[in-house]
Structure 1
Amino acid sequence: MVEKGFATPEARRAAAHVAVEALVQPDRSVKLRVQCAESHHVATVYDTDVGLVYVARSGPHSHGSRDFVDVAHHDAVPGVEVVDVLDPGTGAMADDALPATCECGPRRVSRSELLRAVESGQHRLLVS
């Protein structure tokens, strides 16, 4: 069930976070994987009970399940998880540029480009 018309952006992001946490098998709910030209992981779009949800890390973070934050190449501030409903609905206030980070550095991912990729049936999107 896709829920539109959240009262605030904070409520929308909170609902998105709860929806991703509720996924029993997250890998089976992946609609789109976002990578840079160097094949680094940038973001993931999941199909959830509240619709498509964007999940990314912003700032320095570990690169794999056994890796540590690579502070030698970044500052000491840990990364922040960015979780948001990809299509907030008509009339909702939402920036098109979503923050993300990969080993190449910080970047912005276009919300509308992600939606077009999912609608066209793509499973992987390369961003520059």
Structure 2
Amino acid sequence: MGEATERFFASLPARAPAVLRSPIKGTLQIALATGNRTDHWLVELAPGSARVTHGRGPADAVWNSSPDLFERLVTGRAQAIAAVFRNEATFSGNVVLILAFRLFFPNPPGTRDPRETAREQAGRRA
């Protein structure tokens, strides 16, 4: 398991109050498979909180991908929904959970808030 992935999962509980503002509740299982080995993580999501355990268990939704892809997701070098569309990852169960969970992933490097760009443009015109 990559260091960025470990840090990502460790950071979820502290980041959850800022990220999970909607009335979401459920358990998401993350399965990261390479060869004949699969690492499992359970993420219990609720409004303003996330609890993470390393292991398997009952889940409302399951995300399957390679550890490499997940490392790219947690570092902003890949996008979750695009990965599903390209068949690099699969998802089953409650789609609302993955839509909420993807809010934890960072934006791609160099991405800027469009409001910042608009403010800069407006400042140049003044």
TM value normalised by structure 1: 0.27
Could you say which structure has the greater relative contact order, defined with CA pairs below 8 angstroms and 6 or more residues apart?
1
Greater Rg by CA = 2
Q: Which protein is richer in strand relative to its size?
A: 1
TM value normalised by structure 2: 0.27
